[in-house]
């Protein structure tokens, strides 16, 4: 694929409206879903994402999420120049982020910027369109309460899919559903916040000035504690990040007890994408809730 310069030239033309000679096309990332290509042209440098997903709107939804982030946080967000499908390949053309050493204020900037993002709100939980987290459809129909949204649009669809695909048995599926009544009064009563939705270290880059850059969102309006819990799932961020966030937008007491419940969702995502090694974390949280 990467020897076929005509594919990149067509995508550049469709995105930018002009023919641009390519000086270099270099594969820099090959994940389970997307491949990332560095494109150097006579007009500038670009980051080009490609995949073969059958969902033709997957990058359209990502571009929509990036635009929502741009409007609601001072953090740097890459500019999107175009997206679409050529043949059996989806593509997304964005700014090239020239990574630099993190600045001295990197974690503080990230904490304050995320807090400001979470201050963006709307009347209901959800989003104006369904989108994706990784390659999984993320339904975002609106609900008045977070517990209802979390149950109906996050936990139940993925647990049902996990049962259908043989990743959990019927006994555990039924046990999992027993936590739903417990969750009714489990979460703080807060307004919906605009979330990044997939906030882990791999989706944060260092920009040209060393400041944080957010990429690969799965946005919706939900409980702001979802982003913070997700940030801790794979080791957590620097303490300065959490301190800065709490200084601007303090959390309600008891977040540590709620954190594993929020992380049921990303663990279910990983269960579906990568297999049963992620099931034990889900089982432990369910057992704890049902005691």
Could you identify the residue written with the tokens 């800065």? 244
Question: Which residues are registered as beta bridge partners of 228?
Answer: none
Report how far residue 9's alpha carbon sits from residue 195's, in angstroms, rounded to the nearest whole number.
Answer: 34
Rg of the chain over Cα atoms, rounded to whole angstroms, equals 20
Q: Alpha carbon of 211 to those of 190, 200, 216: distances in Å?
A: 29, 16, 17
| Tokens encoding 68 | 């929502």
Calculated CA dihedral for residues 110, 112, 113, 119, nearest 10 degrees: 140
Four-CA torsion 223, 227, 233, 235, nearest 10 degrees:
-140
Contact 205, 212 (CB under 8 A): yes
Q: Rounded to the nearest 5 degrees, what angle is found at the Cα of 76, between the Cα atoms of 189 and 65?
A: 55
Name, in order, each residue with C-beta under 8 angstroms of 163's C-beta and a sequence gap of 6 or more: 169, 170, 173
What distances in angstroms separate CA 281 from CA 150, 171, 233, 275, one per listed residue? Answer: 18, 17, 10, 12
52 secondary structure, DSSP code: -
List the catalytic residue out of 64, 198, 216, 227.
Answer: 198
* Catalytic annotation present for 198: yes
Strand partners, 29: 36
Phi-psi region of 87 (alpha: psi -120 to 50; beta: other; left: phi over 0): left
What amino acid positions are annotated as catalytic residues?
A: 198
């Amino acid at each position: 694929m990467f020897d076929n310069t005509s594919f990149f030239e067509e995508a550049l033309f469709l995105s930018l409206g002009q023919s641009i000679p390519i000086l270099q096309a270099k594969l820099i990332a090959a994940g389970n879903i997307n491949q990332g290509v560095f494109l150097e042209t006579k007009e500038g440098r670009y980051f080009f994402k490609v995949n073969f997903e059958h969902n033709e709107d997957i990058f359209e939804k990502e571009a929509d999420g990036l635009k929502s982030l741009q409007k609601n946080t001072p953090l740097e967000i890459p500019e999107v120049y175009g997206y679409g499908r050529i043949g059996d390949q989806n593509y997304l053309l964005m700014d090239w982020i020239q990574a630099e050493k993190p600045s001295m204020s990197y974690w503080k900037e990230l904490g304050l910027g995320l807090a400001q993002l979470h201050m963006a709100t709307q009347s209901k939980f959800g989003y104006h369109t369904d989108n994706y987290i990784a390659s999984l459809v993320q339904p975002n129909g609106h609900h008045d309460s977070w517990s209802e949204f979390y149950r109906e649009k996050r936990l139940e669809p993925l647990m049902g899919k996990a049962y259908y695909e043989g990743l959990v048995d019927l006994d555990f599926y039924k046990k999992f559903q027993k936590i739903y009544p417990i969750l009714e009064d489990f979460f703080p009563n807060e307004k919906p916040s605009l979330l990044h939705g997939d906030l882990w270290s791999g989706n944060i880059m260092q920009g040209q000035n060393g400041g944080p850059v957010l990429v690969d969102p799965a946005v919706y309006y939900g409980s702001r504690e979802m982003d913070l819990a997700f940030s801790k799932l794979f080791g957590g961020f620097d303490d300065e990040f959490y301190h800065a966030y709490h200084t601007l937008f303090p959390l309600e007491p008891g977040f540590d007890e709620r954190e594993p419940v929020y992380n049921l969702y990303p663990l279910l995502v990983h269960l579906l994408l990568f297999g049963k090694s992620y099931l034990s974390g889900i089982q432990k949280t369910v057992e704890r809730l049902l005691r």
